[in-house]
Amino acid sequence: MSSKQSDLVQWIEIPKLGDDRGSLVALEGNKIVPFDIERVYYIFGTKPGVARGFHAHKALKQVAICITGKCKMLLDNGIEKAEVWLDSPAKGILINHLVWHEMHEFSTDCVLLVLASEHYDESDYIREYSDFITRVNT
């Protein structure tokens, strides 16, 4: 794996706390999650065959965790692409700014939790792939 590829795919290992009653996960900003958490959202009930994302963010950083079920995420920094399966509540993926991302192959039970470094701002989205490529090359 090249050094660029390892920058693109950055897993966040999430410690499972718990005991004989079951498991518990605690996510704290600037500890497990490498930024202040300003927003939390989750995606669920995605219909079979539907893909989501298809954008990059100018400044936003995010960590995505599939807390139930699974989906495939494509990450693309304009030079390299990687596909990863999100399929564990103990494994998050960092979606850095200026990384084009798409989510595919959602299982019907998928709940994708996303922790975000900023409040929602539509002007932070780059929704045209050609604009994304222009931006990463300038």
Interface with ligand T46, residue 52, by CB under 6 A: yes
Task: Select from 2-10, 11-19, 25-33, 39-47 the region that touches ligand T46 (CB under 6 A).
Answer: 39-47
Considering only 17-25, 37-45, 81-89, 130-138, which stretch makes contact with ligand T46 by CB under 6 A? 37-45
Active-site residue flag, 55: yes
Which listed residue (55, 57, 101, 119) is catalytic?
55
Using CB under 6 A as the binding criterion, the count of chain residues that bind ligand T46 stands at 9
Show contacts with ligand T46 in window 106-125 (CB under 6 A): 114, 120
Is residue 62 within the footprint of ligand T46 (CB under 6 A)? yes
Decide: 52 and 114 in contact? Cβ < 8 Å.
Answer: no
Cα dihedral across residues 27, 65, 1, 132: positive or negative: negative
Which residue numbers are catalytic?
55
